[in-house]
Amino acid sequence: MSAYNIEIQKIKKSRRDSVDFNQLKFGDRFADHMFECEYKNGEWSNFKIKPYGPIQMMPSANILHYGQGVFEGMKAFCHKDGKVNIFRPDKHYERFNRSCKRMNIPEVPKELFISALKTLVDLDRKWVPIDRFKSLYIRPFVVATEEFLGLKTSTTYKFLIITGPVGNYYSEGIKPVKLTTMPEYVRAVKGGFGDAKVPGNYAGSLLPADLALKQGYTQVMWLDAVEHKYVEEVGSMNMFFVIDDSVVTPPLGGTILPGVTRRSILDLCSEWGIKVSESKISVDELMDAHNAGLLSESFGSGTAAVVSPVGLIHHDGYNIELDREKMGPLAQRLYDGITSIHHGDAEPPADWCMII
């Protein structure tokens, strides 16, 4: 029993039948209901699940001007027996809470987060796609709502959760994506908030991402902000490289997002006896490894992206060409391993799955 009494206003007629579950993209379809509550006078209250729709806030609300807000990206999957699996809610909650701390937002109690999540996903469980390559994407977020244009920490907030059925994140599907570095732009610096899931990190990436797209690349592979040479992440994914049969991923040093899928990959690799070194890797080292024929695979990981192979990395006029057609063997093994756990076809490590 939760201490939070959530009032439920059900939609009159579900919109589910208007959605073609065979043609799902990412992020353009939303389930029937959403969760909403408010923070004022030092406490969270007014817990409601209601039909998905517009929310009310004043045009002077802090989030609209200064961006005091955080979000999470999570997924729920359908098992063959109809049970629904919410993947690693504890890890997502931990990161959400850390992001809130960094943005000076009051903590959302874990019990509230989990209780809202379970109640909402359970109510809209018919929206969780059955198909193995699809899922229900879950977006918890907090926005600062105080009506005030001076720059200060808001005293009022809304915490919401919306969900929607999704297919693959990239239009390439699970085919390899093409990345480019863009050393004239940086994503994050130490002491900033590159390791928090906050709107500004993503908003600042949009111009370089559009420039990359115009040049034919799927996304920007960010380099460090000081020397412009060490690989950091791709806005929607953490990065992995297989060099001479060793696996390398950039370390968490405050400037990259501590991905829950990244963590799951490290856990699975350690269970499978594959050593992954969390160490700095420069784009020059990548080019050298490629020239020496030692760079056999690269892939990214993320909640939305799952495990996505990288087929090409462009840097300063030079192309690191990898397999452009299909996932490499390690990416495939990880993709299969993680999606089997998602869909209940493999035994998960303890605490990974919340079954409802």
Amino acid 241 reads F
Q: Given candidates 62, 85, 163, 303, which one binds ligand COI under the rule CB under 6 A? A: 303
Q: CB under 8 Å, gap of 24 or more: what pairs does 122-127 form?
A: 122/84, 122/356, 123/8, 123/10, 123/32, 123/33, 123/49, 124/31, 124/32, 124/33, 124/163, 125/84, 125/356, 126/14, 126/16, 127/16, 127/31, 127/32, 127/163, 127/164, 127/165
d(CA 64, CA 77): 33
Which stretch, 100-108, 285-293, 301-309, 318-326, contacts ligand COI (CB under 6 A)?
301-309
Q: Does position 338 bind ligand COI by CB under 6 A?
A: no
Report the nearest approach of ligand COI to the CB of residue 303 (Å): 4
Report the nearest approach of ligand COI to the CB of residue 27 (Å): 7
Cβ-contact 98, 110 below 8 angstroms? no
Report the nearest approach of ligand COI to the CB of residue 331 (Å): 17
Report the nearest approach of ligand COI to the CB of residue 29 (Å): 14
Classify residue 223 by burial, with Cβ atoms within 10 Å: 0-12, 13-18, 19+.
Answer: buried
Largest CA distance in the chain: 63
Among residues 221, 280, 218, 210, the alpha carbon closest in space to that of 251 is found at 280
Report the nearest approach of ligand COI to the CB of residue 236 (Å): 4
Closest to ligand COI by CB, 302 or 344? 302
Amino acid 86 reads I
Listing DSSP states for 244-274 in one string gives TTEEEEPPPSSSS---HHHHHHHHHHHHTT-
Q: Does position 165 bind ligand COI by CB under 6 A?
A: no
Report the nearest approach of ligand COI to the CB of residue 120 (Å): 17
Tally of CB atoms within 10 A around 316: 10
Token pair, residue 70, equals: 């955080």
Q: Does position 304 bind ligand COI by CB under 6 A?
A: yes
Question: For residue 107, how far is the Cα from the chain centroid?
Answer: 20
Among residues 186, 243, 172, 263, the alpha carbon closest in space to that of 220 is found at 186
Closest to ligand COI by CB, 243 or 250? 250
Unique residue bearing structure tokens 């990548």 = 286
Tally of CB atoms within 10 A around 335: 18
Closest to ligand COI by CB, 223 or 304? 304
Closest to ligand COI by CB, 265 or 289? 265
Which stretch, 225-233, 242-250, 302-310, 317-325, contacts ligand COI (CB under 6 A)?
302-310
Report the nearest approach of ligand COI to the CB of residue 221 (Å): 15
Token pair, residue 243, equals: 């060099």
Tally of CB atoms within 10 A around 158: 22
Q: Given candidates 167, 194, 300, 302, which one binds ligand COI under the rule CB under 6 A? A: 302
Bridge partners of 301, per DSSP, are 238, 307
Q: Does position 73 bind ligand COI by CB under 6 A?
A: yes
Report the nearest approach of ligand COI to the CB of residue 170 (Å): 11
Q: Does position 236 bind ligand COI by CB under 6 A?
A: yes
Q: Does position 194 bind ligand COI by CB under 6 A?
A: no
d(CA 339, CA 306): 8
Closest to ligand COI by CB, 73 or 309? 73
Report the nearest approach of ligand COI to the CB of residue 206 (Å): 11
Closest to ligand COI by CB, 87 or 157? 87
* Number of residues in contact with ligand COI under rule CB under 6 A: 5
Taking residues 260 to 299 in sequence order and writing x for each that binds ligand COI by CB under 6 A, - otherwise, the string is ----------------------------------------
Sites for ligand COI among residues 200-219 (CB under 6 A): none
Closest to ligand COI by CB, 73 or 337? 73
Q: Which residue is nearest to ligand COI (CB)?
A: 73
| Site residues (vs ligand COI, CB under 6 A) | 73, 236, 302-304
